[in-house]
Amino acid sequence: MDISVDDTFGTLCITNNDPTKIKGYYSTLDALWPLFQLPEWQSATTGYYLNVTGAFNVVRISYFCPVGTDPRDLVRNFLAEYDLSCSPMPEAPRAIKVAARYGGEELRFRRYLATYSHIGLDIMRANLHHSQCLFATFRWRVFMARGDYREHFAPTFEKLSPFYCGMSNKDRRQFWSDLAHWPNPPKVDWAHMFVNMVLACDWNALFRLEYSEEPLTIPQINLVLSRDHVFQIPLEWNPERV
């Protein structure tokens, strides 16, 4: 990834018009996979990251591109071909400081956002349910217990993500440091963005809890998930059994 702090920034809010909460997000994300494989998209952007918006059924693509480059026409043609829609009409890419509210380390933050999105797409396409279980147990168990992020995630990334496997040792070390980064505790941690992409949700109330709160059991997590989500975690689920 050749991301620069000088790259402009744009957003696209895309839906396949499925109004179903959460499920609409996943089906739209799946429909967008061919876009990310287009050489034209890859040459027009230096990186991008993904999360949920709308009524939890819309995919927001936030992208970086060199000054003077604008992928919107490419995206419009893709959407028309695949029967997707974009609302509101996207503005032209512009200069912006993405990390302003997340610690201020602009280049580091941009690289992290693009890195987690590549890994996230890999694992979700390979095994969505396992990925959902991985991130729900991370948020409600590993995070609450101040556990080891790498120990929890690495087995899945090593087995399901070609992008992660192609990273240098130096880039991997940086990624693990970024994933655990929390420069401003009253605000969300950097892991929040990855959680939001994979689960189409994050439980922001967690950030008002003290670390002394006990991690939840899988039945307790399933109770939380049953309120809004479309999956349950098997009682015997283990992050290393991919």
What pLDDT, in 10s, does the model give residues 10-64?
Answer: 999 999 988 999 999 999 999 999 999 999 999 999 999 999 999 999 999 999 9
Whole-prediction pTM value? Answer: 0.95
Look at residue 6 in the predicted model and tell me its pLDDT.
96
Look at residue 62 in the predicted model and tell me its pLDDT.
97
Radius of gyration of the chain measured on its C-alpha atoms: 18
212 — pLDDT class (breaks 50, 70, 90): low
- 128-137 vs 218-228: helix crossing angle, rounded to 10: 110
CA separation, residue 171 to residues 94, 108, 139, 151 (Å): 28, 11, 24, 17
- Alpha-carbon distance of 163 to 47, in angstroms, equals 13
Q: Which of 121, 122, 148, 134 is nearest to 242 (CA)?
A: 134
Q: Are 239 and 155 in contact (CB under 8 A)?
A: yes
H runs (alpha helix) in the chain: 23-37, 39-44, 72-82, 106-126, 128-137, 149-160, 162-165, 169-179, 191-199, 218-228
- Alpha-carbon distance of 156 to 237, in angstroms, equals 13
Look at residue 89 in the predicted model and tell me its pLDDT.
82
pLDDT tens readout for residues 97-146? 999 989 999 999 999 999 999 999 999 999 999 999 999 999 999 999 88
187 — pLDDT class (breaks 50, 70, 90): confident
Residue 242 has pLDDT above 80, yes or no: yes
Look at residue 111 in the predicted model and tell me its pLDDT.
98
Distance of CA 164 to the CA centre of its chain: 14
Q: Which of 116, 111, 196, 123 is nearest to 158 (CA)?
A: 123
- The structural domains of the chain, ordered by start, are 8-96 (3.30.70), 102-228 (no CATH)
**At 10, is the secondary structure helix, strand, or coil?**
strand
Q: How crowded is residue 224: how many other Cβ atoms within 10 Å of its Cβ?
A: 14
Percent of the chain with pLDDT over 90: 83
Residue 169 has pLDDT above 70, yes or no: yes
The tokens for 175 are: 């990624």
The tokens for 1 are: 């990834």
- Alpha-carbon distance of 107 to 79, in angstroms, equals 30
Look at residue 14 in the predicted model and tell me its pLDDT.
96
Q: How crowded is residue 208: how many other Cβ atoms within 10 Å of its Cβ?
A: 7
- Alpha-carbon distance of 49 to 61, in angstroms, equals 6
